Structure 1
Amino acid sequence: MPLTAEAIEILKTITTATITTVLLKKGLRNVWMRGTKPLRPGQPRLVGPAFTLRFVPAREDLATPESWAKPISTRSAIEAMPPGCIAVVDAMGITDAGIFGDILCMRMAKRGIAALVTDGVVRDLEGVLGTGLPVWCNGAAAPPSVAGLTFVNWGEPIGCGGVAVFPDDVIVADQDGAVLIPRDKLETVLAEGPEQERMEAWIVDEVEKGAVLPGLYPMNAETKARYEASKKK
């Protein structure tokens, strides 16, 4: 199913928590990328197709400042990113070498990249924040990527935060972190996600009114009947 502008707007109304619940019901438990925390509190929920990048452990003959000028480099990968994508970077959870700094993030922002998601960290924190590029990562570190990582490719399956991410998987990121939706599950999430949000909002309202949880969450038959009746009002 294509990720249309309409689909993106619908997904922006569905929390990552709800998405994980919907996918859990379909047998998918491992879709939340560990270590993907919003770099700036209050970043809006963002949606986009995954553009994948992969690092491996640093090897001294490959992970050098000179490697930044090679055809296979983070610089070339950024120029290959289509506007609106979310760059998802496999940094193997390494937190003592920043994969991107302010210059690379500024270029991504200028090219219209929706966001950067990684299980690693960034460097030049103040500068990265100044670019305006939304980032989900595991913190910041001063050393450059080559201090701990070797960049090897883009546009191939990766592991990010313990989750298998394939190019063009749908990424949704909010204050709870980043999750992926496989393309063949996109229609399901679009169909069931908004209803799950409505139902949980109704439950929250009932709790606020003083309702007890047994029979309410999860709903028993009587509660389901009240909920269905409320939708007709």
Structure 2
Amino acid sequence: MTTAAPADVEALRERLSRLDTAALSDAMDSLRTPPCVLPGIAARTPGTVACGPAFTVRYRAVVDDSTFHNAANYIDDVPVGSVVVVDNGGSRTCTNWGSLLSSVALHRGISGTVVHGSVRDVKESRTAGYPLFSTDVTMVSGKNRVMLDRTGVEVDIAGTSVAPGDWIVADDNGALRIPANLVEEVVRRAEAVERTESRIREAALSDGRLDEARARFGYARPWEDGGEDGNC
């Protein structure tokens, strides 16, 4: 399996956007990959989905506060369709994202933002419908508290590594990362998981037994998409 070519990115994004993180997590489990969940990340704009290659941003604490440290300037370099992944160590003491960044990101066609740390101006992001996810929320500015360390580097989100170009999907269930070299296979398996669960649900709601429907349609290995008899 290889990284998707640029021409395939939009097709992958369209398929991923129709899947939820639960099905994608099941698909990742079936491949026995390293942890995919970004722990502690919650939706700040419920009902939205962020889906795209990761643009990674790492912050560090300000040590010398004798000069003014403004907000980090990187948003102009984020490619269209990316998900901004910000690592501030899960800090709850100050913010790394606010309404100005949400407005610019939405205008620029950025798919969403995941912050391992805190965000603010949540009401404005929700009103705009910008997909925003974070560890926490605070009103405290990051100015003179944190500064940009680097962009385009591997970051650690509470034990889960995210490399630039890994695919990020975030929804009301939380956020996960899919290694770039596995994304096509993960999508294929997640689509099979959803088909299997749809068959089980339909059978159980048609006055059938749930346990029988699970056995019939291959609930134990839903990514194999066994069809009527549960065999692939």
TM-score range, shorter chain: 0.7 to 0.9
Cα deviation digits, residues 97-148 of structure 1 (max 9, x gap)? 1111212222222222110111211123333334432101123101112465
Q: Structure 1 pair 137/177, CA: closer, same or farther in 2 (3 Å)?
A: same
Aligned residues: 218
C-alpha separation in 1, matches of 2:20 and 2:128: 25
Pick aligned residue for 2:211 from 192, 202, 213: 213
Pick aligned residue for 1:67 from 60, 66, 69: 69
Q: Which amino acid aligns with 1:53?
A: V
C-alpha separation in 2, matches of 1:53 and 1:7: 23
C-alpha separation in 1, matches of 2:67 and 2:97: 13
The answer to whether structure 1 residue 54 and structure 2 residue 82 are counterparts is no
Pick aligned residue for 2:110 from 96, 108, 113: 113
Name structure 2 gaps, 5 residues minimum: 221-225
Q: Structure 1 pair 125/174, CA: closer, same or farther in 2 (3 Å)?
A: closer
**TM-score under structure 2 normalisation?**
0.83
Whether the 8 Å contact between 1:50 and 1:170 is mirrored in structure 2 is: yes
**TM-score under structure 1 normalisation?**
0.83
C-alpha separation in 2, matches of 1:220 and 1:40: 32
Q: Which amino acid aligns with 1:213?
A: D
Cα deviation digits, residues 47-85 of structure 1 (max 9, x gap)? 1110000123x23316x87222xxxx621x111111111
C-alpha separation in 1, matches of 2:53 and 2:194: 23
C-alpha separation in 1, matches of 2:16 and 2:212: 30
Whether the 8 Å contact between 2:196 and 2:227 is mirrored in structure 1 is: no
Which residue of structure 2 lines up, in the alignment, with residue 184 of structure 1?
Answer: 181
Deviation for aligned residue 1:46: 3.1
Pick aligned residue for 2:80 from 78, 83, 106: 83
The answer to whether structure 1 residue 6 and structure 2 residue 8 are counterparts is no
The percentage of aligned residue pairs carrying the same residue is 25
Whether the 8 Å contact between 1:97 and 1:142 is mirrored in structure 2 is: yes
Written as runs of structure 1 = structure 2, the 5 A alignment for 1:7-156 is 7-43=12-48, 45-56=49-60, 58-61=61-64, 66-68=68-70, 74-75=72-73, 77-146=74-143, 148-156=145-153
Q: Structure 1 pair 15/125, CA: closer, same or farther in 2 (3 Å)?
A: closer
Superposition RMSD on alpha carbons, in Å? 2.6
C-alpha separation in 2, matches of 1:133 and 1:20: 23
Deviation for aligned residue 1:37: 1.1
Whether the 8 Å contact between 1:102 and 1:128 is mirrored in structure 2 is: yes
